[in-house]
A and B are shown apart, each in its own frame.
Chain A
């Protein structure tokens, strides 16, 4: 009896074929279409569009806020996952279900609600304003919206991995004389890191492209709180399809390189 004779799903050919068709129709074709369309531009034209000062400012803002938001979620999300997996308390199931709400909520609704809350006369923003801090209509507000929208990624990637780490590992380490911090640093962290990186990468990639929630809280001031997706919308409103595509292609390439780096790091960590 060879192991190959009893696959769960029928036929390698069928499943791979389906995967390729599905991926082509939904992912490769639209992306390839973008690149082909952008190829009408010469290199110098392309460079002139993507190196305009406003585009560069938006690039820094979009990738910067998405990075910080992903990092914040890396900390908060891990904490959430830890509480949900390691402790039993009343209402745990409800909180567990609530984690996914940012995905279900239309992002525009999230944006409007957050703005109302954190605007200078909002419920929370009022107190911040007393301290001299403006949250809405600043990069701080953008980061906040992104943190909200991408919250589930880190929690949901960490949760199952954390649940699978046997308690005995920690107990054994403690028996061998490890202090709590050492247990965390040497036992838990290495086991969690690959999943953590996945969650981080997902949150980061989602944050870079986010439009609906950010647009209400950003303030959209040219050169200051203008995100890249807004610049694409601006170009489209001028029927400048090429300019919009050029920015889109640039975003894709930068995101792809960053995600590739995270993947390589993950592989290195997993082997480590």
Chain B
């Protein structure tokens, strides 16, 4: 009983805390996905300076991070986000279909399909690359252990899956051969963590696996954290262009009167300052000039886009990841 009541008072405390936050005037809530935490805390500081330099009052930007799908659900269930910066266009589409939180054409409102920065999927291997892993073909060899999170619960893992599929489709031609390829790849996966960070932890701290399929920015963060003498990054011959989009949540900004600042916030992601901060956090900037400045840090590799190769997120989600989709099939056949 005492535990119950303690939990309850905690819960009440959280409620009061959040209502106190929303009561303040100049705030902006950015609901984002997991690995953008460090990037946005730097970006928020820069935007605040820029915003005040234009003669506005100081702004308090709140950040919320979590799995992309879970974050989208929170917003559609009433979390008052002014802007969403999520991992997949599909999650923002869901905000339109579930309650008209934003306009259907949200992705046309900002340049580059509302994606100010991109990333891709690379391999992280142990120092010296003891298993000689260079490309996707090496991942399906017997005796290789591959770490990737579960595509059913992790946005990043879906990109991993699609990158592998894109490789196999180009290398072998048919859908059936691509499916055989990913089936062999997943036969080499001993653990399916629920999220990207958990998978990184399994690979780096728990010592599982020979290779981790990771976001490029996560791979660089891991190098930074553990030192370059324990791991190295391998760029495969082909990978997928991951496009994490951003959008203003119309219904919330109209109710809160924050549309002007919310739009300025997202616009600023495309400015030279915003693009440079993104690159410093290992996201590939869209601005060609800034991308050139950081050319050394991003290996040149062939990138396919989800729209061209898979016909967009909705189709990819239905074909590969929904119940009964390709991912379920490759596990039923085992």
Contact = CB atoms under 8 A, between A and B. Distances in A.
**A, B co-complexed:** yes
B98 A119 contact: no
A133 interface: no
Contacts of A121: 206-208
B150 A220 contact: yes
Given A121-B208, A237-B70, 14 more contacts: A116-B205, A119-B202, A119-B208, A120-B208, A216-B198, A220-B153, A222-B192, A222-B331, A233-B194, A237-B152, A237-B153, A238-B317, A238-B321, A239-B73
A209 B185 CA distance: 32
A212 B138 CA distance: 34
Interface in A215-272: 215-216, 219-223, 230, 233-240, 243
Shortest Cβ-Cβ A-B pairs, 10 listed: A121-B207, A119-B206, A222-B331, A234-B152, A220-B192, A219-B191, A237-B69, A137-B191, A215-B194, A220-B150
B179 interface: no
28 contacts: A26-B8, A103-B3, A112-B201, A115-B202, A116-B205, A116-B206, A119-B206, A120-B207, A121-B206, A215-B194, A215-B198, A219-B190, A220-B150, A220-B194, A221-B191, A221-B192, A222-B192, A222-B328, A230-B194, A233-B153, A234-B150, A234-B153, A235-B323, A236-B73, A237-B152, A238-B322, A239-B94, A239-B98
Contacts of A119: 202, 206-208
Nearest to A156: B3
Contacts of A230: 153, 194
A64 interface: no
B323 A220 contact: no
B243 interface: no
Interface of B: 3, 8, 67, 69-70, 73, 94, 98, 150, 152-153, 190-194, 198, 201-202, 205-208, 317, 321-323, 328, 331-332
A178 B152 CA distance: 60
A115 B3 contact: no
A119 B206 CA distance: 6
Contacts, number: 70
A236 B190 contact: no
Contacts of B207: 119-121
Given A236-B73, A237-B69, A219 B206 contact: no
Nearest to B328: A222
A136 interface: yes
Contacts of A238: 152, 317, 321-323
Interface of A: 26, 53-54, 103, 112, 115-116, 119-122, 136-137, 215-216, 219-223, 230, 233-240, 243
A17 B193 CA distance: 46
A235 B94 CA distance: 15
Contacts of B152: 234, 237-238
Nearest to A108: B198
Contacts of A122: 206
Contacts of B193: 215-216, 220
A122 B202 CA distance: 11
A120 B208 CA distance: 8
A99 to B, nearest CB: 13
Q: Interface centre among A115, A120, A136, by most B CB within 10 Å?
A: A115
Nearest to A235: B323
A136 B69 contact: no
A223 B331 contact: yes
Contact of A220 (B69, B73, B191, B205): B191
A236 B69 contact: yes
Contacts of B67: 237
A7 B176 CA distance: 76
Nearest to B67: A237
Contacts of B190: 137, 219
Contacts of B201: 112
A245 to B, nearest CB: 14
Contacts of A115: 202, 206
Contacts of A223: 331
